[in-house]
Amino acid sequence: MPERKRPKLAVWKFSSCDGCQLTMLDCEDELLALTEEVRISYFLEATRKVEKGPYDVSLVEGSITTPHDIKAIREVRKQSKVLITIGACATAGGIQALRNFKNVKEFIRCVYAHPEYIDTLTTSTAISDHVPVDFELRGCPVNKYQMLEVLNAALNGRKPNIPRHSQCMECKETGTVCRMVATGTACLGPVTQAGCGTLCPGKDRGCYGCFGPMEAPNTAALAARLGQLGQSGRGIRRLFHTYNANSDAFRKEGDNHG
Amino acid sequence: MAQPNSKSTTPYLLDMDGLAALISALRRQGRQIVGPRLADDAVIYDDIETAADLPAGWGSEQAGGHYRLKRRDDNAVFGYGLAPQGWKRQLYPPRQKLFAARRQAGGFTVEPPPPPAPPLALIGVRACELAAIARQAKVFGDRAFADPGYQTRLSSAFIVAVQCAEAQATCFCASMGTGPEVTAGFDIKLTEVFVQKHHGFVAEAGSAQGAKLLKALKAPAAGPAEIKAAGVAVKNAARQNKHLDAEAARNLVAHPDHPRWDKVAERCLSCGNCTMVCPTCFCTTVEDVTDLKGDNAERWRKWDSCFTMDFSYIHGGAVRTETRSRYRQWITHKLSTWVDQFGEQGCVGCGRCVTWCPVGIDITEEAAAITGQERI
């Protein structure tokens, strides 16, 4: 019997820490099942064996930070039937988008002995700022169950079950006592998209907003409350300007403080 | 669970050992015991092993968007106010598997449902919470389409109710006519009393199985001093600073364009916390999941909220895209159109939506402002 034709999967990396790709490898139990359903054609983090495109599904990690990146992502788009971006870098520019708020030339001068070797853009931006994207999966890093769900949905041609509502809903679903109400801890949960698995609130920490803005974030109302809870303007700006600093809602709210 | 309107019998007096014996007896019946327990800077309702797990000496301070545990002057075990989430978690779990199916030779087979969970014993159910349970029971069953899961969990549960001895700043059960006195829907009713520094519980049966269990504990009868103290406790709990004019709030539906909706939308995070902690909110969504091969599928029912965009998503987009319309939908249903549907209010006055709203939006204030009432 000839080998069943499996869809070709490619996993690409741009400016990122590789954590989201590692989440893919961290699928462990599900990884073998996945390789039965797809043909891993390009995934340098996992294997040096590379197959030419086009690819049925491309997962893209990382943000666009260099002129070379811009050319490369256009090529990836051309080679991909479905392009899914994974993680805060690819969907919002990542922590490295903090450069967007400062003078990059100064950073380069301070950090590198030979600044002339550095060829970089002044901004770090999301993949969707450069090419059309079919689905954006949030998180820093992404949640492995959500990643499998998105792949599953892409393979079966259906809409993925990825809620856009607040982290608070997930906290309540898991029975986690609200950190902000019960302890006065600063928390971005009410304006952040659910999906992490309640990692921080479940460990007595406020939400850091790794999954980016929820569907209808009222950041101004939350910021006002954070102020009442004793956060300084600078503190509020720093809360909003982390992994998803370059997402519209968080960028604007952070800019209003400090 | 007890039948409504069951007559209470002669009150007994339990001490802490008696309460411990009651919990042990319920455990011996093979029940899963759920009661108040200290965890994560709050008193939550969770699995407990023995009476030693109860939060002796712990109270709470609650206000809009504010909850703090605090030490009490006494060692009361039921002096903590209300837990962050009610008994909805146990009776109507946030995630329920409806069924699973497996692909097999040309078709598929539906897997048999899992064996039922052990029956529950709920320890420390307040009057407002009993009212909430009764309202959900109505939603899930008194019309043509009963929810067998909910009805089974409720009818097999043993309910130990506790009458409040004091009100939180967020409580308004007296306005809604749901408390603080426990009148129906319990197997055993307790009122925690301190008489001459003696810590005890006036215990009354509300069902045949409650009466049988109390009798078996061989506890003494409560004396006049304890019975009087129990009455004083409930009177004390009825003194509440928060009020809601339920009759006036019925009229919310007549004010769809009130400017207050915009004001509240400026503060509202549309995070959904109010609906999640509300003991009567019952909305769910259904999610189908499959494995990668598509050989195994499951259908899950999950708590949903009218504050999400997906909730009102129909062909072409969400119907309620603005926060003002989502808040209006929630409060109007709760206080106004619920009455049209079920003949009673959807709000029991527990105040959870006030305490656990991260920005402290107060349903009583909003209802009063929109229906033009003077604040009491």
- B119 preceded by cis ω (within 30°)? no
Rounded to whole angstroms, the Cα distance separating B214 from A32 reads 57
In the 8-state DSSP scheme, what is residue A115? Answer: G
Overall average pLDDT of the B62-69 stretch: 98
pLDDT for the residue A2: 55
Are A206 and A232 a contacting pair, CB within 8 Å? no
Q: Do A65 and A121 touch, CB atoms closer than 8 A?
A: yes
In chain B, which residue's Cα lies nearest the Cα of A148? B292
Residue B5, pLDDT above cutoff 70: no
pLDDT of residue A3: 62
Q: Is A134 on the interface with B (CB under 8 A)?
A: no
Q: Where on the phi/psi map is residue B142: left (φ > 0), alpha (ψ -120 to 50), or beta? A: alpha
DSSP A86-114: EHHHHHH--GGGGGGGS-HHHHHHHH-S-
**Average pLDDT over chain B, rounded to whole?**
94
- Which residue of A lies nearest to B300 if distances are taken between CA atoms? A161
Residues paired with B162 in a beta bridge: B190
- Token duo for residue A187: 């928390």
For chain B positions 284-323, those within 8 Å of chain A (CB to CB) are: 287-294, 302-303, 305, 307-310, 323
Give the Cα separation of A109 and A136 in Å (integer).
34
**CB-closest option in A30, A152, A181 to B355:** A181
Instruction: Give B144→chain A minimum CA distance, Å.
Output: 29
What pLDDT does B374 receive? 58
Percentage, residues of chain B above pLDDT 70: 96
User: Cβ neighbours of residue A16 under 8 Å, at least 6 residues apart?
Assistant: A61, A62, A63, A87, A89, A90, A94
ipTM of this predicted complex? 0.94
- What are B223-271's pLDDT values in tens digits? 999 999 999 999 999 999 999 999 999 999 999 999 999 999 999 999 9
pLDDT value of residue B294 = 83
- Tell me the mean pLDDT in the region B322-343: 96
Mean pLDDT along residues B155-182? 97
At B364, is the pLDDT very low, low, confident or very high (cuts 50, 70, 90)?
Answer: very high
| CB proximity under 8 Å: B 56-85 to A | 65-69, 84-85
Point out the residue among B266, B273, B276 whose CB comes nearest to the CB of A221. Answer: B266
Q: How confident is the model at residue B6 (pLDDT cuts 50, 70, 90)?
A: very low
Dist CA B278 CA B356 (whole Å): 10
Q: Which domains does chain A have, with CATH numbers?
A: 8-156 (3.40.50.700), 167-255 (no CATH)
pLDDT of residue B249: 93
Three-state SS for A194? coil
Coil vs helix vs strand at A12 = strand
**Test mutation, B80, B269, B274, B310, chain A, max A CBs within 10 A:** B269
Residue A126 makes CB contacts below 8 A (sequence gap 6+) with A63, A64, A85, A90, A91, A92, A93, A136, A246
Chain B residues whose CB is inside 8 A of the A29 CB are none
Crossing angle of helices B363-370 and B323-332, rounded to 10°: 90
Coil, helix or strand at residue A42? strand
Considering only CB atoms, A225 lies closest to which of B44, B272, B359, namely B359
Question: CA of A16: how far to CAs of A21, A42, A88, A89, B291, in Å?
Answer: 10, 17, 9, 6, 29
Of A30, A34, A221, which is closest to B359 when you measure between CB atoms?
A221
Query: Inter-chain contact A180–B289, Cβ cutoff 8 Å?
Result: no
Residues of chain A with pLDDT under 70: 1-4
Are the beta carbons of A221 and B294 separated by less than 8 Å?
Answer: no
Cβ <8 Å between A181 and B67: yes
Which residue among A173, A190, A224 sits closest to B303, beta carbon to beta carbon? A173
- pTM score of the predicted model: 0.95
Contacts with B, A 33-52, CB within 8 Å = 33-34, 36-37
Q: Where are the alpha helices (DSSP H) in A131-232?
A: 144-156, 167-173, 179-183, 219-228
Q: How confident is the model at residue B157 (pLDDT cuts 50, 70, 90)?
A: very high
Shortest Cα–Cα distance, B276 to chain A (Å) = 6
Residue whose token pair is 């820490």? A17
- DSSP H or E run through A32: helix A29-37
Determine the average pLDDT of the residues in B102-107.
90
Q: Does the pLDDT at position B153 exceed 80? A: yes
In Å, how far is B62's CA from the nearest CA of chain A? Answer: 9
DSSP B374: P
Query: Which range, of A67-81, A189-203, B288-302, B346-360, averages the lowest pLDDT?
Result: B288-302
- A102 CB burial (10 A radius; 0-12, 13-18, 19+): exposed
* Separation CA B17–CA A257 (nearest Å): 57
Cβ-contact B73, B194 below 8 angstroms: no
Q: Name the residue among A155, A173, A189 with its Cβ closest to that of B292.
A: A155
Q: Closest partner residue to B85 among A30, A172, A214, by Cβ?
A: A172
- Please give, rounded to a whole number of angstroms, the shortest distance from the CA of A121 to a CA of chain B: 36
What would the DSSP string read from start to end of B201-263? Answer: EEEEE-SHHHHHHHHHTTPPBPPHHHHHHHHHHHHHHT--S----HHHHGGGGG-TT-THHHH
Reading the block at residue A43, the tokens are: 């995934």
CA B99 to CA A225: how far, in whole Å? 42
Look at B272 and A183 and tell me if their CB atoms are within 8 Å: no
Mean pLDDT in residue range B86-109: 94
Q: Please indicate whether, in this complex, the C-beta atoms of B276 and A34 are within 8 angstroms of each other.
A: no
CA dist A158 → A150, A153, B58, B78 (Å): 9, 5, 50, 50
Chain A interface mutation, best of B271, B286, B310, highest count of A Cβ atoms under 10 Å: B271
